[in-house]
Amino acid sequence: MARPRPADSGSPAPSPGAPARTPGSAAARSTEPRTATAGAAEPTPPVAGTPPVPEPPVARLAANQLRRMRRIVDAAVELAEQGGFEAVRLRDVAERSDVALGTLYKYFRSKEDILLFALNEEVTRLEQALAVRPPAGATPYRRVVEFFRRTSRALIGRTPFARALIRSLTGSEDLAVQVAAFQLRMARLIAAALRGEAPDLSAPLDGGAGGVGSRARARRDAPPTRRLAQREHDIAQTLTHTWFSALVGWAAGLHDERAVVEHVRVAAELILDPEPR
């Protein structure tokens, strides 16, 4: 049973929506020894064409607050791994992490907020892995298919947790900025796979400002290098939407992991030339 705690002093910490590199995090438990401390979060790169994601407060927290936040996230992930989205009840998260419920609300507004924080840690882990070992393949088509195969396997392999993450991405309009940042980070990784490069994690996230029509006009007027970058972004965004739609179907029990990758493979084949020239 959780021990009652006095409320923390100071202003409540807003929920972070940007990636955090935290040793011992839920995203890294399979490769790192569990620790009670959390590291500092990196600020989110600027996002073109979308509302800015607020800088996370993690770096401004005291050591005991970081440990408390780490326990909250780990407890939510453990509950999600055991019973999916419905098992992540904030009262149970507070009890398992040994914090008062009111204290939990100083860090996170909802269980979706906690799960999106955990998702950002998963994406950070993916980014680091792809920076070391980018997807292999002789063509952009083969590289993006390999990217989605690796990414889908890593996510779907933790089935209840993965379904909880997908629910958190579709559960609340209040988290739209965090969801948009997640999609832009994925698009940056896919664009790097199209080019056959390791992702540049220091580069700004490009939201492709404007609607489809305005982007098409801007592309016509842009220099060749910018037109190529915009096309890569549009392909990456289209494939991301296809992948996410397939994941929602998987989470609902409509198809299996292989079908998720196959949906994206078919979309990539329609957009890209599958054979080397």
> b/e for 45-61, b at 16 or more Cβ within 10 A?
bebeebeebebbbbeeb
Q: Has residue 39 got a pLDDT over 90?
A: no
93: left (phi over 0), alpha (psi -120 to 50) or beta: alpha
DSSP annotation of 48 reads E
Domains and CATH numbers, the chain: 26-113 (1.10.10.60), 122-271 (1.10.357.10)
- Percentage of the chain beyond pLDDT 90 is 58
Mean pLDDT over each residue of the chain, to the nearest integer: 79
Tell me: the pLDDT tens digits for 163-210? 999 999 987 777 888 888 999 999 999 999 999 999 999 888 766 544
- Look up residue 29 and give its DSSP letter: T
Residue range 61-89: average pLDDT?
93
Average pLDDT value for residue range 238-251: 95
Q: What percent of the chain has pLDDT over 70?
A: 71
Q: Which residues pair with 206 in a beta bridge?
A: 48
Provide the 3-class DSSP secondary structure of residue 248: helix
For residues 10 and 225, which has the higher predicted lDDT (pLDDT)?
225
Pinpoint the alpha helices (H) of 35-173: 63-83, 90-97, 101-107, 111-132, 140-156, 159-170
Higher pLDDT, 260 or 28: 260
pLDDT tens for 40-54 read 344 444 444 444 544
Q: What are phi and psi of 3, to 5 degrees?
A: -85, 135
Q: Higher-confidence residue: 227 or 270?
A: 270
Question: What is the structure's pLDDT at 277?
Answer: 54
Question: Could you report the per-residue pLDDT of 207-243, keeping only the tens digit for each?
Answer: 654 444 555 555 566 677 778 888 999 999 999 999 9
pLDDT at position 60 is 60
Nearest to 275 by CA among 140, 132, 74: 140
| pLDDT tens figures, 84-132 | 999 999 999 999 999 999 999 999 999 999 999 999 999 999 999 999 9
pLDDT at 7 over 50: no
